């Protein structure tokens, strides 16, 4: 591949999706390479005279030149593993390091390649353009500050910097569909929790348009797979305790994610109470939320606020049929349906929202935010 240096004439960070029909919009190679098999180039038919490189050579360029180094702190947990796998398969990112104190030195096989963990203290923070922190709540903020001091941008997946948790209010809350432009310009982003992502994306069109009855109590009932509880061993998460079972927890409006949901409602200046009841499902991944909302007035078309608000959003699916978890698992999407509630004196809607708690509820949304922070296409490297 002696001709490969000529590919460096391409702009930095060129993406595969910037090549329309495989034809380069700029001069990369010249005609003397033509006729050299799969590593060569050829002219397109139709007399246009444009130069085209074949798939193997394009992929060599896309996969090996000008990748952006990123790191993952706390990579051995469920969200950290998911992130590492996404990065390993991302066409424009490379994994500079992945830390896990208890598993340091261990190698984990992931989609896209093997990852060998190092101790967090040994992380070469300055080698990364962006760092994802999947460290435990309470431990992450310190490492966010260290990464920033080393010059890296940061996406924090813990609660430490999220709204409603006493954190710095200048750090954007990374619910991408709500705060996209703030995320794009940020050096640090607080990635939302999984339950708040499911609930707030469902509620946002009503909250922004002041359609909820003043003083109303919005009931959010969510059911999650067990990966939402993290990887640490617990007696109540043993197989024998989970399988063939279904139970509520964090009852009485005490769950820690309620703080950021309330804070989002307050930022939108809405006089609304939230009643949040999570449940544990005997499955690995996914969250299904059922949200009951009293309205100021009936809506002629119950789905209109969502169709209008999320028109053109690549990771929001507004559907007529009720969403199911199998439709969103391993995808960076939220799937939303709405129903009018009958036989109540107050006009009321039920909203049904489904996400994968590890993807749109954690690693996928973190990568979505990172793409924006790094000036990349928001959708690149994310499963849809």
pLDDT of residue 3: 41
Sequence-separated (6 or more) residues with CB below 8 Å from residue 347: 294, 295, 296, 297, 298, 299
What sections of 221-345 are H helices per DSSP? 239-242, 258-267, 304-309
Where are the CATH 3.30.360.10 domain residues in the chain? Answer: 194-357
Integer angstrom CA distances of residue 88 from 5, 110, 140, 145, 200: 24, 8, 23, 25, 30
Q: Is the pLDDT of residue 53 over 60?
A: no
**Fold classification of 194-357 (topology level):** Dihydrodipicolinate Reductase; domain 2 (3.30.360)
Poorest-confidence range of 62-71, 194-203, 235-244? 62-71
Kindly state the average pLDDT of the residues 281-292: 97
> E-assigned strands of 215-315?
216-224, 247-248, 272-280, 287-294
Q: Which CATH number fits domain 68-192+363-373: 3.10.290.10, 1.10.260.40, 1.10.1040.10, 3.40.50.720?
A: 3.40.50.720
pLDDT-derived band at 167, boundaries 50, 70, 90: confident
pLDDT of residue 230: 82
CA distance 126 to 226: 35
Poorest-confidence range of 175-184, 223-232, 259-268? 223-232
Higher per-residue confidence, 360 vs 58: 360
| Percentage of the chain exceeding pLDDT 90 | 76
Poorest-confidence range of 46-60, 95-109, 118-132? 46-60
| Percentage of the chain exceeding pLDDT 70 | 83
pLDDT of residue 200: 98
pLDDT of residue 25: 34
CA distance 148 to 369: 17
Kindly state the average pLDDT of the residues 152-165: 96
Assess contact for 221 and 248: CB atoms under 8 A.
no
Where are the CATH 3.40.50.720 domain residues in the chain? Answer: 68-192+363-373
pLDDT of residue 169: 80
pLDDT-derived band at 16, boundaries 50, 70, 90: very low
Q: Is the pLDDT of residue 28 over 70?
A: no
pTM of the model: 0.83
Higher per-residue confidence, 59 vs 281: 281
> E-assigned strands of 3-137?
41-43, 51-53, 68-73, 93-98, 107-110, 113-116, 130-133
- CB count in 10 Å sphere of residue 254: 10
pLDDT of residue 231: 81
Poorest-confidence range of 13-22, 281-290, 306-315? 13-22
Kindly state the average pLDDT of the residues 8-12: 39
Q: Is the pLDDT of residue 209 over 90?
A: yes
pLDDT-derived band at 36, boundaries 50, 70, 90: very low
pLDDT of residue 58: 42
Q: Which of 110, 194, 354, 367 is catalytic?
A: 194
pLDDT of residue 65: 62
Would you call 121 a catalytic residue per the annotation?
no
pLDDT of residue 112: 81
Q: Is the pLDDT of residue 40 over 50?
A: no
Strand 188-190 vs strand 153-156: parallel, antiparallel, or unpaired?
parallel
- In the chain the first and final C-alpha atoms are separated, in Å, by 34
Assess contact for 52 and 25: CB atoms under 8 A.
no
> E-assigned strands of 33-141?
41-43, 51-53, 68-73, 93-98, 107-110, 113-116, 130-133
């Amino acid at each position: 591949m002696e001709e490969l240096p000529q590919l460096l004439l391409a702009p930095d960070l060129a993406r595969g999706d910037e090549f329309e029909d495989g034809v380069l919009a700029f001069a990369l190679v010249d005609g003397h390479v033509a006729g050299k098999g799969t590593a060569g180039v050829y002219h397109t038919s139709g007399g246009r005279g444009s130069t085209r490189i074949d798939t193997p050579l394009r992929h060599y360029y896309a996969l090996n030149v000008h990748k952006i180094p990123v790191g993952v702190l706390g990579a051995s947990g469920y969200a950290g593993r998911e992130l590492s796998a996404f990065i390993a398969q991302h066409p424009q990112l490379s994994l500079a390091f992945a830390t896990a104190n208890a598993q340091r030195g261990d190698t984990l096989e992931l989609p896209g390649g093997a990852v060998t963990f190092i101790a967090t203290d040994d992380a070469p923070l300055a080698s990364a353009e962006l760092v994802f922190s999947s460290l435990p709540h309470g431990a992450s903020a310190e490492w966010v500050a260290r990464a920033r001091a080393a010059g890296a941008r940061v996406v924090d997946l813990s609660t430490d910097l999220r709204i409603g948790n006493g954190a710095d209010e200048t750090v954007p809350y990374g619910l991408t569909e709500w705060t996209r432009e703030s995320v794009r310009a940020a050096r640090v982003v607080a990635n939302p929790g999984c339950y708040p992502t499911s609930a707030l994306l469902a509620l946002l069109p009503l909250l922004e348009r002041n359609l909820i009855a003043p003083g109303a109590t919005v009931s959010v009932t969510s059911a999650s797979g067990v990966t939402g509880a993290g990887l640490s061993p617990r007696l109540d998460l043993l197989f024998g305790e989970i399988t063939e079972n279904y139970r509520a927890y964090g009852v009485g409006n005490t769950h820690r994610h309620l703080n950021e949901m309330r804070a989002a409602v307050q930022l939108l200046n809405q006089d609304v109470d939230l009643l949040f009841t999570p449940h544990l499902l005997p499955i690995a991944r996914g969250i299904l939320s059922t949200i009951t909302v009293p309205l100021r007035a009936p809506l002629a078309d119950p789905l209109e606020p969502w169709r209008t608000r999320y028109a053109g959003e690549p990771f929001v699916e507004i559907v007529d049929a009720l969403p199911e978890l199998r439709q969103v698992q391993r995808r960076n999407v939220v799937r939303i349906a709405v129903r009018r509630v009958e036989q109540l004196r107050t006009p009321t809607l039920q909203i049904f929202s489904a996400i994968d708690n590890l993807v749109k509820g954690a690693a996928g949304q973190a990568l979505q935010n990172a793409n924006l922070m790094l000036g990349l296409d928001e959708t690149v490297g994310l499963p849809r």
